[in-house]
Amino acid sequence: MPAKQLQDVIKQQSKQAVENDVNVLGVSSLAAGHKTLIPQVMEELKKLGREDIIVIAGGVIPAQDYDFLYKAGVAAIFGPGSPVAKAACTILEILLAD
CATH number of residue 40's parent domain:
3.40.50.280
Q: Please determine, for residue 3, whether its predicted confidence score (pLDDT) is greater than 80.
A: no
Q: What is the pLDDT of residues 52-98, one digit of tens each?
A: 999 999 998 999 999 999 999 999 999 999 999 999 999 999 999 96
Q: What are phi and psi of 33, to 5 degrees?
A: -100, 5
Over range 10-34, report the average pLDDT.
Answer: 90
Q: How many folded domains does the chain comprise?
A: 1
Print the domain residue range for 11: 3-97
Closest by Cα among 39, 93, 30 to 68: 39
pLDDT for residue 90: 97
SS3 content of the chain, % helix, strand, coil (to 5): 55, 15, 30
Start-to-end Cα distance in the chain: 35
Phi-psi region of 68 (alpha: psi -120 to 50; beta: other; left: phi over 0): alpha
pLDDT for residue 2: 62
pLDDT for residue 81: 92
Residues 6+ apart with CB under 8 A from 14: 25, 41, 44, 45, 48, 50
